[in-house]
Amino acid sequence: MSSVLSAARKALVSAGVSRLSAVVCGVSGGPDSMALLDALLQLKEEQGFSLCAAHFEHGLRGEASRADAAFVAAFCAARGIPCQMASGDVAAFAREKGCSTEAAARQMRYAFFEDCMRARGAGFLALGHHAGDQAETMLMRLLRGGGTGALGGMAPVRRSGPGLPEGKGCALVRPLLECTRQDILDYCGQRSLAYRRDESNASDDVLRNRIRNQLVPVLQTYNPQLERALGRQASILQAESDYLERAVGALLQKAYAPRYNAWRARPLAGAHPALCRRAIYRLGQQAGAQMDFEHVERLMQALKGEGGTFTLPGNVAAQVSCGYLLFAAAGHEKAVLRAPIGRTGEGSVLLEGGGALRWRYLDQLPGDWRTQAPGRLYLDAQALSGEAYIRTRRPGDRFHMLGGPGPQRLKDVLIHWKVPQLRRDALPLLICDRGIAAVAGHMPAHWARITPGSYSYLCLEITDE
């Protein structure tokens, strides 16, 4: 049995492809994608899933690119394979986005794949990356100083990210990742498969090409089975990275403070450096920051030291303040929040820093209302005079702390509570004619506290969603 066909069958089963599945196969016309398409066509008859080819013409190689597209279209037409085609001006897109031609081509190609997935109602995107591609990716990331996750290379299956519609349960699968370049060429010969050659692969202007054409042949003199060896290493690193990612998830859940949409510095700083680095990197990515090792290290030191505020690539600000780590858009104007809450029922409003403020009026307090979760508070609804609404702070605001002698500057109160600086302007306040009735997530005003004579109540809660 062909190693290519066997690998593809195994990968599809592992990814969850079934008789009811629809698969889109990205096809460039090169030997790897043609071998994959041919293998999928055989497995389609065997397993019963539907199959569609997708070809994107990048407009970079003139007539040769158009000939690739015509070749793929003819191959699919001869075998009755539905084929979606598109083209784009990658060079113009690269200039517009200020990125490399390779990055622009990948963005446009994956956006096209996602469109194909939506149009076909497909749950799987199959791409022809093989062990040689994996080896090149790992070596390229090693030269750039990548961590464990990066050095693991390409995952056999991923269920989110470029090329996949969000929230649809789709997966990108690489069925040939365990096959060497020679395996694929042998398969094409056995199956009499024609394919196109991309002459630009011979150019050493691109780092990946230099690795393929210069570095890999040298390394293969030390280990002729380099592709398979690095493939095994990738599998090991991916498993270890998956374990660490789960540990990071648990760490972030433990450290999360929903009232500020921030993470407590102490558990992060006290974690093993491997977990702390990954946690910082994940949070930065989620905030849209483009972080490298130096950015992560500076934030690690800030967590263990006196804090600080940092501007990260991607127009993101990171701050370690008052015992918390938080991220926000850098240099943005403060959003104006004003949300009436009425006098009955319940509702919610999204907060600028992330999360939401929820409120509900109650006729009866829960028995454990004094000891409920941080971020939730109760006050006397009858103490609210005039219109009640939620807003953020303004210059001159004053607040009468619970048990305090009288109103004092809200700024001083927030500093006393160690509210992170980046979150102070976004902290929601409950306002009525008398003034600030509550600082959400913290406490009601002294005059809005629950007393033995209270009979109508308002619950305010900051949540992470």
* Domain boundary, last residue among 284, 308, 329: 329
Q: Which residues contact 329 (CB under 8 A, 6 or more apart)?
A: 315, 316, 317
**CATH number, domain with residue 325:** 3.30.465
User: 415 is written with which tokens?
Assistant: 């500093």
Instruction: Please say which residue of 329, 346, 374 terminates a domain.
Output: 329
CB neighbour class for 218 (10 Å; exposed up to 12, middle 13-18, buried from 19): exposed
> Do the annotations mark residue 235 as ligand-binding?
no
Q: Are residues 279 and 408 in the same domain?
A: no
Nearest to 53 by CA among 44, 62, 64: 44
Q: Which residues contact 223 (CB under 8 A, 6 or more apart)?
A: 229
Asked, for residue 453, whether it belongs to a domain, the answer is yes
pLDDT at 331: 67
Query: Which CATH number belongs to the domain containing residue 177 in this structure?
Result: 3.40.50.620
30 is in an annotated binding site: yes
| Same domain, residue pair 444 and 398 | yes
The rounded distance, in Å, linking the Cα atoms of 86 and 55 is: 7
Same domain membership, residue 348 and residue 312: no
The answer to whether 407 is a known ligand-binding residue is: no
pLDDT at 458 over 50: yes
Question: Which residue, 337, 338, 316, is CA-closest to 327?
Answer: 316
- The answer on 353 and 318 residing in a single domain is no
Question: Where do the DSSP E strands lie in 287-434?
Answer: 308-312, 316-321, 324-329, 338-340, 346-350, 356-362, 376-380, 389-391, 398-399, 408-409, 429-432
User: Would residue 50 count as lying in a domain?
Assistant: yes
The total number of structural domains in the chain stands at: 3
How far apart are the C-alpha atoms of 222 and 88, rounded to whole Å? 42
90 and 216 housed in the same domain: yes
Enclosing domain of residue 271? 258-329
Distances (CA, A) of 85 to 26, 50, 72, 400, 426: 10, 18, 9, 66, 47
Residue 465's pLDDT band (cuts 50, 70, 90): low
In a domain, 240, yes or no: no
CATH number at residue 393: 3.50.40.10
pLDDT value at 396 more than 90:
yes
Q: Is 382 inside any structural domain?
A: yes
Annotated binding residue 348 = no
C-alpha 102/C-alpha 91 separation (Å) is: 9
Residue type, 126: A
Tally the C-alpha atoms within 13 A of residue 456's C-alpha that lie toward its C-beta: 8
pLDDT, tens digit (0-9, with 9 covering 90-100), for 103-154: 899 999 999 999 999 999 999 999 999 999 999 999 999 998 888 888 999 9
Residue 201: helix, strand or coil by DSSP? helix
27 and 65, same structural domain?
yes
Examine the domain organization and report whether 434 and 324 are in the same domain. Answer: no
CA R_g for the chain: 29
Q: Where are the alpha helices (DSSP H) in 121-153?
A: 131-143, 148-151
- Does residue 245 lie in a domain region? no
Average pLDDT for 174-199: 94
Q: How many CB atoms lie within 10 A of CB 249?
A: 13
**Cβ-count burial 138-156 (b if 16+ within 10 Å, e if not):** bbbbeeeebbbbbbbbbbb
Q: What percent of the chain has pLDDT over 90?
A: 71
Question: 420 in a domain, yes or no?
Answer: yes
pLDDT score, position 146: 83
Whether residue 323 is found in the same domain as residue 396: no
Percent of all residues in the chain with a pLDDT value above 70, rounded to a whole number: 98
For 400-444, how does the pLDDT look when each residue is reduced to its tens digit (9 = 90+)?
A: 999 999 999 999 999 999 888 888 888 899 999 999 999 998 999
Q: Are residues 383 and 350 in the same domain?
A: yes
- Residues 314 and 344 placed together within one structural domain of the fold: no
Do residues 89 and 193 both lie within one domain? yes
φ/ψ (deg, to 5) at 124 = -135, 135
Q: Write the pLDDT tens digit of every residue in 155-181.
A: 999 998 889 998 788 999 999 999 999
pLDDT at 332: 58
One-letter amino acid of 285: Q
The answer to whether position 246 is within a domain reads: no
Average pLDDT for the chain? 91
Q: Under DSSP, is residue 243 helix (H, G, I), strand (E, B) or coil?
A: helix
Taking residues 242-263, what's their average pLDDT?
92
Q: Which of 329, 349, 372 is the last residue of a domain?
A: 329
Q: Does the annotation place 453 within a ligand binding site?
A: no
- If one compares 332 and 1, the residue with the highest pLDDT of the two is 332
Same domain (yes/no): 290, 388: no
- Give me the residue label for tokens 């799987």: 124
**Strand bridging mode 83-87 / 124-126:** unpaired
pLDDT at 19 over 80: yes
Let me know how long the chain is. 465
The answer as to whether 239 is a domain residue is no
Q: Is 29 annotated as a binding residue?
A: yes
- Lowest-pLDDT choice from 26-35, 308-317, 379-388: 308-317
1 band by pLDDT with thresholds 50, 70 and 90: very low
Of 344, 334, 357, nearest in space to 440 by CA: 357
